[in-house]
Structures are given as structure tokens and as C-alpha cells.
């Protein structure tokens, strides 16, 4: 297991950078609104900025299809290496992009284009990185028995990326002029991305992929042969996205814009929740290795449903203790999902379909439930004035996941089908 630690670290760097970039955009979204989408109505500017944020999610399934296909056809290593490069270049260009005041509407279109490009890049990054890691570590008998734990450790990189972004935000807010200071985190992030590209370039290919002879990749075949796996992955991507959205993006806006909590305070509360999340991920990943996966996620979803109303009631109390308690619940819920999902999805598809099957379906779920969530909830709260709108949204989304999980039958049936596929089609798989 130790000899593959560098693979895990390289994968975590790439994933942390993805989260860092997406977190930076949502953190500085009010600055983006005035810099690239100016309007007489601040709410309209904010909606334009959220739309650009959502554009990155909309194109993720496209990137997942492209890099998933490359990963299953030509190897995990080239897919991850060049997705890293494609994500780093737009980050640098965003940091250097002139404002609307300087070059007019061209700056607005350019930001949208760069976010779309990043969405394509990151569509193959998140899932591809952990697939690559788990396939490498499967050669270790010790690691092979703990995919949940390894996936939970990998998920810590989500928290690392967000803490880096929040740290940058705190630094930028201390600048005398943040109208240019916000650019520094994007430029520095791109440099980290180029370093990650070099590290990825030096890694070796996944042993499982090397054993595949003449890979025949087809999304249609994946959907046809593994419909349960595809639907479960879509549902899990949606559940992961809405919990991620609440903890990392919508939380700060909800507290600062609608509850009047100072932005600096919301960042500190958020850091506490992220710390809980990072501690929770390996623990829940380990737990998922010892519980039947379908049972595990049903329990996690039920806990999500029970706690969601309590969380928003605590937030609306606006006391330090109540907000900290809400963040505690948020961190644990998010950790219970993100910490266990990778080890679960890894077993839903054979290696010949794994990158395409996981990346495309998971990204599609993220798009449906996560990409449009901040935009939709912000719009509905503004129009109705009802601060409980997010509760209804989250209850609906979690209920959809539970219905899918319960009605699709035991996951073990699908896993047996994968095992039969491996036994009949791949020697030594």
C-alpha cells in the first residue's frame, strides 16, 4: 500500500485544485458580478454570475464523456494528465482577464467560455483520479479490502481545496484594493496546476487498465449492460452535489445575504464545518467497508432527511452556538456521503467501462441537482422571501435518491454481474 502513496497524493492534488477553483469562483462571485457582469440591479448581476457558475456544471458531463472515453480507451494516465492541463490554463486566463469596464462585453463572454472549458476539464478529473488511485492500490491485498477508507482519505482533498480557497479569500479581503487582489489566487492556482500536470505525467498507468486487451468503449453499451449501476451513480452524484452545495457554496450566501451575518464570520463558520467534514470522510469510508453498501446509503439519506429542517432552523437562530451546531451536522452529513461514495461506485462497473460509467453518470447527477441548485434557490428566495425554500429542495432531492436506491434492488446483484463480466471477458482482471 505504501508504494502507491504517491499515486494517492498526486490524485489528491488534482482534485484539491478542482475544488479550489470552483470554490474561488463562488467565494468571489459578488466581485465577478460587478467586474464582468455589471448591471443597475445587483441581483441581476448576481444571477448572471450564478449562471456562469452553473455553466461549468452543465459542461461537466461533456468533459466526463470525453475524458471517460479517453480513460477507458487509451488509459487513465493520459486522461488525467491532460484534463489537469486543460483546467489550469483557463484558471490562469481568468486571473489575467481584463474587466468589463476595460474591454466591454468580450470580457463577459470570455469568462463564460473559460468556465465552460474548466467544466469540460473537471468532468473527467474528480472521478478519474480516484478510479486511477483505487486501481493502483488494488494490487495491494491490504488496500483492496479498504476501498471505502482510501476513497474517504481521497475525499479529504475536497476540504483541502476549499480551505485553500477560503484562506486566499481572507488574505484578499485584507488587501487595500480587492478589485485586483482577487486575481492572485487564480494565478497561483494555475501554477499549482502546472506542477500537478508534471507529477501526473511522471506516473505509471493503472495495472487494471494494462490488463485489458483491445478495449472497446461505448457509452451506449455501458448504459445498456449496467442500467442499475448508471441510475445509482446518477442518484449518488446528485446526493453528493446537494450536500456539497449546501456546505461549500450556498451556506455563505444564505447567512450573509439573507440572515445578515458578516461575511468574515460566515467564512470562519464554514471552516469549522469543513474541518468536521475532513475528519468524517475517512471514518465513514472505513465504516462503509464493513456495512452492505445499499444499507449504508439508505441510513445516510434518512439521517440527511431528519436533520435538514433542524439545520436551517439552527442557522436562522443566528447565534454562534446554533450556527456552529448546524455546521457540525453539515460536516458529518457531507462526510458520510463523500467519504463512502468512491469505494461504492468503483465496484459498480468493470474496468472496461469504469471511467465512462462513473464519470458520465456521476457528472449528470451533479448537473441536475448541484449545478442549478444555487441559482434556483437564490431566485426563489428573492421572489418569495421564504427562507425555508432550501428545505423543500433538499427534502425533494434526498427523497429521489432514496426511492432510486430502494427500488433498484440490492447492489450486490449488480456487483455479481460485474464479477461475471470480468470472469468471462478478462483474464487476470
The pLDDT value recorded for residue 11 is 86
What integer pLDDT is reported at residue 41 of this predicted model? 59
Instruction: Supply 178's cell numbers.
Output: 480587492
Please identify which residue in the block is written with the cell numbers 446483484: 413
pLDDT digits (tens, 9 = 90+) for 164-220: 888 888 788 777 777 788 889 999 988 888 888 888 888 888 888 888 877 777 888
Q: Does domain 2-425 have CATH number 1.20.1250.20?
A: yes
Q: Are 395 and 305 in contact (CB under 8 A)?
A: yes
**Does residue 409 sit in helix, strand or coil?**
coil
Coil/strand/helix, residue 63: helix
Nine-digit cell string for 3: 508504494
Read off the pLDDT band of 380 (50, 70, 90).
Answer: confident
pLDDT tens profile 293-344: 888 888 998 898 888 889 989 989 989 999 999 999 999 999 999 999 998 8
pLDDT for the residue numbered 46: 62
389 three-state secondary structure:
helix
Q: What is the number of other CB atoms lying within 10 angstroms of the CB of residue 110?
A: 17
Question: Which contiguous run of DSSP H or E holds residue 232?
Answer: helix 227-244
Q: What pLDDT is stored for residue 428 in this prediction?
A: 38
**21 Cβ contact partners less than 8 Å away, ≥ 6 residues apart:** 87, 91, 118, 122, 161, 186, 189
Query: How confident is the model over 68-125, as pLDDT tens digits?
Result: 999 999 999 999 888 888 888 988 998 999 988 888 888 888 888 888 888 888 887 8
CA distances to 100, 150, 333, 353, 360 from 11, rounded to whole Å, are 36, 12, 24, 20, 19
b/e burial code for range 237-254 (CB count within 10 A of at least 16 → b) = bbbbbbbbbbbbbbbbbb
Q: Taking all residues of the chain, what is their mean pLDDT, rounded to a whole number?
A: 82
Burial 272-307 (b: 16+ CB within 10 A, else e): ebbebbbbbbbebbbbbbeeebbebbeebbeebeeb
Q: How confident is the model at residue 426 (pLDDT cuts 50, 70, 90)?
A: very low
Q: What is the DSSP string of 271-340?
A: HHHHHHHHHHHHHHHHHHTTS-HHHHHHHHHHHHHHHHHHHHHHHHH--HHHHHHHHHHHHHHHHHHHHH
Residue 243 has pLDDT above 70, yes or no: yes
Q: Quick check: 49 pLDDT over 70?
A: no
Does residue 427 surpass a pLDDT of 70? no
Contact 252, 23 (CB under 8 A): no
Residue 372 contacts residue 245 (beta carbons within 8 Å) = no
What's the whole-number mean pLDDT along residues 223-240? Answer: 87
Q: No. of H helices and E strands in the chain?
A: 23, 0
314 vs 283, 322, 385, CA distance in Å?
25, 5, 18
pLDDT of residue 53: 65
Measure the CA angle with vertex 270, ends 398 and 42; round to 5°: 85
Please say whether the dihedral angle defined by the alpha carbons of residues 420, 421, 427 and 429, taken in this order, is positive or negative: negative
Q: Which of 339, 347, 345 minimizes the C-alpha distance to 284?
A: 339
Amino acid at each position: 500500500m505504501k508504494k502507491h502513496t504517491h499515486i494517492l497524493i498526486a490524485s489528491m492534488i488534482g482534485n484539491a485544485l478542482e475544488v479550489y477553483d470552483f470554490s474561488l469562483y463562488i467565494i468571489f462571485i459578488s466581485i465577478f458580478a460587478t467586474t464582468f457582469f455589471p448591471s443597475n440591479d445587483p441581483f441581476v448581476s448576481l444571477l448572471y454570475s450564478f449562471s456562469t457558475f452553473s455553466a461549468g456544471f452543465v459542461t461537466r458531463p461533456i468533459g466526463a464523456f470525453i475524458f471517460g472515453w479517453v480513460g477507458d480507451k487509451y488509459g487513465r494516465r493520459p486522461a488525467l494528465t491532460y484534463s489537469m492541463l486543460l483546467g489550469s490554463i483557463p484558471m490562469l486566463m481568468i486571473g489575467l482577464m481584463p474587466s468589463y469596464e476595460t474591454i466591454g462585453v468580450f470580457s463577459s463572454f470570455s469568462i463564460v467560455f473559460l468556465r465552460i472549458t474548466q467544466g469540460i476539464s473537471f468532468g473527467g478529473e474528480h472521478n478519474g483520479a480516484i478510479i486511477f488511485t483505487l486501481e493502483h492500490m488494488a494490487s495491494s491485498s491490504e488496500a483492496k479490502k479498504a476501498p471505502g477508507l482510501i476513497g474517504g482519505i481521497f475525499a479529504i482533498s475536497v476540504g483541502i481545496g476549499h480551505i485553500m480557497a477560503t484562506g486566499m479569500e481572507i488574505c484578499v479581503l485584507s488587501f487595500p484594493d480587492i478589485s485586483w487582489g482577487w486575481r492572485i489566487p487564480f494565478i497561483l492556482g494555475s501554477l499549482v496546476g502546472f506542477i500537478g500536470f508534471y507529477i501526473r505525467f511522471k506516473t505509471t498507468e493503472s495495472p487494471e487498465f494494462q490488463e485489458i486487451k483491445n478495449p472497446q468503449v461505448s457509452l451506449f453499451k455501458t448504459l445498456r449492460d449496467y442500467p442499475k449501476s448508471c441510475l445509482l451513480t446518477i442518484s449518488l452524484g446528485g446526493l453528493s452535489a446537494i450536500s456539497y452545495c449546501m456546505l461549500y457554496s450556498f451556506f455563505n450566501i444564505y447567512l450573509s445575504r439573507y440572515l445578515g451575518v458578516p461575511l468574515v464570520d460566515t467564512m470562519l463558520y464554514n471552516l469549522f464545518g469543513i474541518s468536521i467534514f475532513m475528519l468524517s470522510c475517512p471514518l465513514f469510508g472505513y465504516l462503509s467497508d464493513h456495512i452492505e453498501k445499499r444499507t449504508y446509503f439508505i441510513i445516510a439519506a434518512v439521517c440527511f432527511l431528519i436533520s435538514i429542517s433542524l439545520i436551517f432552523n439552527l442557522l436562522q437562530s443566528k447565534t454562534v452556538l446554533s450556527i456552529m451546531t448546524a455546521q457540525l451536522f453539515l460536516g458529518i452529513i457531507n462526510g458520510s456521503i463523500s467519504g463512502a461514495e468512491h469505494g461504492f461506485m468503483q465496484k459498480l462497473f468493470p474496468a472496461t467501462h469504469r471511467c465512462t460509467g462513473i464519470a458520465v453518470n456521476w457528472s449528470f447527477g451533479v448537473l441536475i441537482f448541484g449545478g442549478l441548485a444555487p441559482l434556483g434557490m437564490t431566485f426563489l428566495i428573492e421572489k418569495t422571501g421564504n427562507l425555508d425554500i432550501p428545505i423543500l429542495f433538499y427534502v425533494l432531492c434526498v427523497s429521489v435518491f432514496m426511492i432510486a436506491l430502494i427500488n433498484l434492488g440490492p447492489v450486490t446483484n449488480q456487483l455479481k454481474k460485474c464479477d461475471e463480466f470480468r470472469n468471462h471477458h478478462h483474464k487476470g482482471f
